[in-house]
Amino acid sequence: MKLLEIKNLMFSYNNHFNLEIEYLYLEKGEFVSIIGPNGSGKTTVLKLLTLLEKKKSGEIILFDKEIENYSKKELFKKISVVPQEFFTSFDFTVEDIISTGRIPYETLFSKDEDIIIKTMKKTNTLKFKERVYNTLSGGEKQRVMLTRALVQNTDILLLDEFVSQIDPGYTQQLVRMVKEESVKNNKSVLSIFHDVNLASLYSDRIYIFKEGKIKYSGKPEEIITEKIMKEIFDIDCIITEHPTKKKPQVIFEY
């Protein structure tokens, strides 16, 4: 079942960057990634999906309904987001920030408290509970923002480079956790990655963006090729197969 579909979408920032998406979809329980060079429009797609920016034309259908017809509250019971970066001017604690994930439900009963604590244990952020968010390291902040999205308990998770500053140990743990959300709990994940190998290893499908357009889309083994990597990122690389998962992995040429 397709939870989310983008059709013939057009958008531009004051006419200097043009995004054009003919078709993009996300099925229930799918883990889909977006990769592409800096400035290719990946974050812009998430902004359009969350109504931070307004599309020029086209359709974005969420559960058979155009997203512009959702109230903010209803929309964010279906979609949660980990933004590329998040700053705040005040000394809010980690718990303050994570608990905002429950605002769409507008209840602050013990049930919410339970979900928050349980999720914080899973992401190993409980020990920061009382800490001021601004004093955390970059990777710790990203773990907090992932926790915030998880407590929102939505069908769709939108992740914007959510492990870009996270060490290898936590990267594996968190990506696995998100993968598990999709496999076991049937959540749909749309995740932007710069690490092509991570995207290839965990994704059911990948969209490759360049200059505001989808250049390729398909299963990792179909589109992670030496030729396409050269064309998209202008890198010289060798593609090998992951010994156990049988997914393509990129090795850089010297």
Partner 1 sequence: MGIVFIILSIILFTSLGTVKIPFKNVILAFANNSDNPLYDRIIFNLRLPRVIGTLLIGAILAIAGNDFQMIIKNPLADPFIIGISSGASFGAVIYTALKSVYGIDLPFGIETFAFIFALIATIITFSLAKEGKKIPVVSLILSGVIVGFVFNSISTLFTVLFWQNLLHVNFWLMGSTGNIVWNDLIILTIFLVLQIAVNFIFKKHIEVVAMGDEISIFSGINPEKIKLIVLTINVFAVSVVVSKAGIIGFVGLIIPHLVRKITGPNIYYSTIGSMIYGGIFLGFADLFSRYLFRPTELPIGVTTSLVGLLFL
Ligand X SMILES: Nc1ncnc2c1ncn2[C@@H]1O[C@H](COP(=O)(O)OP(=O)(O)OP(=O)(O)O)[C@@H](O)[C@H]1O
Question: With contacts defined by CB under 6 A, how many residues of the chain interact with ligand X?
Answer: 11
Binding at 51: pick from Mg ion, ligand X, partner 1, none (beta carbon under 5-8 Å per type): partner 1
Among 2, 28, 43, 219, binds ligand X (CB under 6 A): 43
Amino acid at 232: I
Binding at 13: pick from partner 1, ligand X, Mg ion, none (beta carbon under 5-8 Å per type): ligand X
Q: How far apart are CB 241 and partner 1 at their closest, in Å?
A: 38
Number of C-beta neighbours around residue 204 at 10 A: 18
- Helix, coil or strand: residue 58: strand
Q: Which of residues 31-60 bind partner 1 (CB under 8 A)?
A: 50-52
Residue 157's nearest CA partner among 20, 3, 11, 21 is 3
Q: How far apart are CB 228 and partner 1 at their closest, in Å?
A: 33
Residue 80's nearest CA partner among 121, 45, 50 is 50
Among 12, 18, 43, 173, binds Mg ion (CB under 5 A): 43
The rounded distance, in Å, linking the Cα atoms of 127 and 228 is 43
CB nearer to partner 1: pick between 95 and 181: 95
The rounded distance, in Å, linking the Cα atoms of 156 and 181 is 10
Binding at 39: pick from partner 1, Mg ion, ligand X, none (beta carbon under 5-8 Å per type): ligand X
91 touching partner 1, by CB under 8 A? yes
- Part in contact with Mg ion (CB under 5 A); list of ranges 26-34, 36-44, 168-176, 242-250: 36-44
Supply 56's token pair: 């020029």
Neighbour-count burial for 61-79, b at 16+ CB within 10 Å, e otherwise = ebeeeebeebeeeebbbbb
Q: Which of residues 68-107 bind ligand X (CB under 6 A)?
A: 84
| Contacting residues toward ligand X, per CB under 6 A | 13, 17, 36, 38-44, 84
